[in-house]
Amino acid sequence: MKTRLSAILVAALVAAPAMMWASAPTPSSEPTPEATARIQKQVRHELVMLPWFSIFDDLSFSVQGDTVTLTGEVTWPTLRSSAENVVKRIEGVKHVINKIEVLPLSPYDNSLRWRLARAIYGYPALQRYGMGTMPSIRIIVKNGDVTLEGVVDSPMDRTLAGMRANGVPGAFSVTNNLRVVHG
């Protein structure tokens, strides 16, 4: 009887700390707003620094907790995998969902991209958007269909870019998704 009581007492003493640990509140795994802002800033930086990222590619992302979802269209398959790899290395990112589409490799689309770039960035009123390391107007071509992405300073510039793209022979359709951002 004494042995049995000792065994029960020892079992209770061993189990008590484990039960207390299991019932203790766990720290939240959700990142703070500051951590999310830091992750967003680092993801943006890493994406624009990718080699081969050009005016013919469009990358975007969203951050939900410790998960980053990548979206957009790129002309090079290696750019898709490179984007995922650099984002995986960012501190605080545990999961990357890669929804980036690789555009079809087409000599026709490639020729159309360059003609569109000349028509838009070669136009005097729009030349300022082509300056700098990351031009703000992105030209996405998929099977002859054109989509303009990015930002411009005024509704007039948005309209001009759309008109210039519509005037390029060989473009089957033009979708103008340019956003007007003041400042």
pLDDT in tens, 130-175: 988 888 999 999 999 999 999 999 999 999 999 999 999 999 999 9
Contact 69, 99 (CB under 8 A): yes
Neighbours of 151 (CB within 10 A): 15
Q: Express as a percent the part of the chain with pLDDT over 70.
A: 83
Q: How confident is the model at residue 86 (pLDDT cuts 50, 70, 90)?
A: very high
Nearest to 161 by CA among 134, 124, 133: 124
More confident: 42 or 34: 42
| CA separation, residue 24 to residues 19, 20, 27 (Å) | 9, 6, 10
Residue 5 pLDDT greater than 90, yes or no:
no
pLDDT, average across residues 59-72: 94
Question: Alpha helices of the chain — where are they, by DSSP H?
Answer: 2-23, 33-48, 77-88, 107-121, 155-166
CATH assignment of 33-102, among 3.90.1010.10, 3.40.50.970, 2.60.40.10, 3.30.1340.30: 3.30.1340.30
One fold for 33-102 and 107-180: yes
**What's the pTM value of the predicted model, to 2 decimals?**
0.77
Say how far apart CA 68 and CA 96 lie, in whole Å.
5
- Give the pLDDT confidence score for residue 29 in this predicted structure: 61
Q: Express as a percent the part of the chain with pLDDT over 90.
A: 72
Q: What is the mean pLDDT of the chain?
A: 86
- Give the pLDDT confidence score for residue 125 in this predicted structure: 95
CATH assignment of 107-180, among 3.40.50.261, 3.30.1340.30, 3.40.50.1100, 1.10.10.10: 3.30.1340.30
Domain spans of the chain? Answer: 33-102, 107-180
Residue 22 pLDDT greater than 60, yes or no:
no
Instruction: Calculate helix-pair angle for 33-48, 77-88, nearest 10 degrees.
Output: 150
Among 18-27, 55-64, 172-181, the range scoring the smallest mean pLDDT is 18-27
Say how far apart CA 100 and CA 95 lie, in whole Å.
15
Our CA dihedral for 36, 38, 39, 45, rounded to 10 degrees, sits at 150
What confidence tens digit (pLDDT) does each residue in 94-143 have?
999 999 999 998 999 999 999 999 999 999 999 999 988 888 999 999 99
Neighbours of 47 (CB within 10 A): 20
